[in-house]
Amino acid sequence: MKAILALEDGKVFTGQSFGAATEQWGEVVFNTGMTGYQEVLTDPSYAGQIVVMTYPLIGNYGINREDYESKRSFVRGFVVREYCDHPSNWRASYRVGEFLTRAGVPSISGVDTRALTRHLRSYGTMRGYLATGDVNPEEVVTRARTSPQLSGLNLVDEVATGENYTIEGSGPRVVLVDLGAKHNIVRKLRDRDCTVIVVPPGTTAGEINALSPDSVFFSNGPGDPVDVQNTIKTSRRLIGTVPLFGICLGHQVLSLALGGKTYKMKFGHRGSNHPVKDMRTGRVYITSHNHGYSVDESSLAGLDVEVSHINLNDNTVEGIRHKKLPIFAVQYHPEASPGPHDSDYIFDQFMDMMRGEGQ
């Protein structure tokens, strides 16, 4: 079956459909990871987005039972150069196409993904519309143009838990404010024996305090951070009462709560190869990224907040630390999945902070 991806600026790519026979709008973004499509497809932070993989062969190792980052896929569409329908890996249990079809994700192969990536790099991420079947390209362009903007949508509620649940452990109590948390964040905490109490994004400071946490952890998630005002309010109230930590959207939420500002990046960072410098040690780590918004460094001037990590490629803020209180956060993904595990130490620092050490 034919498929068409149209961008709001009129650019059209045609190819074959290999996922759900449906259509979707979304913000078109590219990911440069050469492995990890299963994790990308199931990472809730991609909600609202049509994901382009720059690596040309996708599906080689199929879909397996273990590497889900959430219960299902939240991507709006999936764009690849070549889709492999004969996966080969000892853990493979499904073809990617079957998974996408079940997940209702329209998908297109046969696209010059490099040309598309270059386009997005030059003109920035933009809205797109992915349609399958016999459709008129001009119509699809129109639909792309009339799609809503990503900012202003309440994507977090779409992906986050609606109610509390607890994963028991023998160690400290972590309240994880779920903005679309990846499974591997929970796994990392569980590996460290934490009791993890997962709460919805709208949980108030009072409700969280009632859980008597040793720390509060704001997770990754989709969309524009300014759209999660309730969570920002909650985190602001918690400042100074309990150690706070955030990853990705959680990092942006904490930055906003502390008085900083965020902005939308031209095409964001999505991939597994970004060098991030830990300003305290001078060491550089290769990290996993997935963000389209960033904390404005200049907005932190005068606050009790220091930049703890920067991206070596473009010098953007990749981590912040409160100068006095036990609060820190990183923009990238120390939990990996997909990507390098080099930043596992961030979780150790989190544990130290909870224990009142290492600040």
Size of the site for other proteins (CB under 8 A): 52
CA 19 to CA 131: how far, in whole Å?
11
Residues 287-346 that bind other proteins (CB under 8 A): 312-313, 336-342
Which one from 23, 39, 318, 335 is the annotated catalytic residue? 335
Q: Which of 157, 329, 152 is nearest to 238 (CA)?
A: 329
Q: Sort strands 126-132 and 327-330 into parallel, antiparallel or unpaired.
A: unpaired
- For residue 283, the SS3 value is coil
The reply to whether 84 belongs to the active site is: no
Comparison of 12 and 205: residue with beta carbon closer to other proteins: 12
What's the closest the beta carbon of residue 334 comes to other proteins, in angstroms?
A: 13
Q: Does 34 bind other proteins (CB under 8 A)?
A: yes
- Return the residue of 16, 22, 72, 82 that touches other proteins, per CB under 8 A: 82
Residue 114: CB atoms within 10 A of its CB come to: 13
CA 26 to chain centroid? 15
Comparison of 304 and 344: residue with beta carbon closer to other proteins: 344
Q: Does 166 bind other proteins (CB under 8 A)?
A: no
What's the closest the beta carbon of residue 40 comes to other proteins, in angstroms?
A: 9
- Return the residue of 10, 21, 71, 91 that touches other proteins, per CB under 8 A: 91
CA 354 to CA 174: how far, in whole Å?
9
Q: Does 128 bind other proteins (CB under 8 A)?
A: no
- How far are the Cα atoms of 283, 295, 306, 358 from residue 309, in angstroms, in the given order? 10, 12, 9, 17
- Return the residue of 2, 9, 22, 32 that touches other proteins, per CB under 8 A: 32
Does residue 41 contact residue 106 with C-beta atoms inside 8 Å? no
The mark string for 96-125 relative to other proteins (x by CB under 8 A, - otherwise) is ----------------xxxx-xx--x----
Q: Does 57 bind other proteins (CB under 8 A)?
A: yes
- Return the residue of 25, 55, 328, 350 that touches other proteins, per CB under 8 A: 55
Comparison of 109 and 203: residue with beta carbon closer to other proteins: 109
Concatenated DSSP letters of 219-274: ---SS-GGG-HHHHHHHHHHTTTS-EEEETHHHHHHHHHTT--EEEEEEEEEEEEE
The piece of 50-58, 185-193, 210-218, 235-243 that touches other proteins (CB under 8 A) is 50-58
The reply to whether 333 belongs to the active site is: yes
Q: Does 12 bind other proteins (CB under 8 A)?
A: no
What's the closest the beta carbon of residue 203 comes to other proteins, in angstroms?
A: 32
- For residue 16, the SS3 value is strand
Which one from 27, 194, 248, 309 is the annotated catalytic residue? 248
From start to end of the chain, where are the E strands? Answer: 2-7, 12-17, 24-31, 49-53, 57-58, 77-79, 82-83, 107-109, 126-132, 165-167, 173-177, 195-199, 215-218, 244-247, 262-278, 284-295, 305-311, 317-322, 327-330
What's the closest the beta carbon of residue 55 comes to other proteins, in angstroms?
A: 6
The reply to whether 194 belongs to the active site is: no
What's the closest the beta carbon of residue 187 comes to other proteins, in angstroms?
A: 12
The mark string for 264-283 relative to other proteins (x by CB under 8 A, - otherwise) is -------xxxxx-x----xx
Would you call 220 exposed, middle or buried from its count of C-beta atoms within 10 A (0-12, 13-18, 19+)?
A: buried
- H helices of 13-68, in order, are 37-42
Instruction: Please list, residue by residue across 255-276, b when 16 or more beta carbons sit within 10 angstroms of its beta carbon and e when fewer do.
Output: bbbbebebebeebbbbbbebeb
Comparison of 21 and 115: residue with beta carbon closer to other proteins: 115
The piece of 53-61, 136-144, 189-197, 209-217 that touches other proteins (CB under 8 A) is 53-61
Residue 157: CB atoms within 10 A of its CB come to: 18
Q: Which residues belong to the active site?
A: 248, 333, 335
Instruction: List residues binding other proteins (CB under 8 A).
Output: 30, 32-36, 38-39, 54-57, 60-61, 64, 66-67, 81-82, 84, 86-91, 112-115, 117-118, 121, 271-275, 277, 282-284, 286, 312-313, 336-342
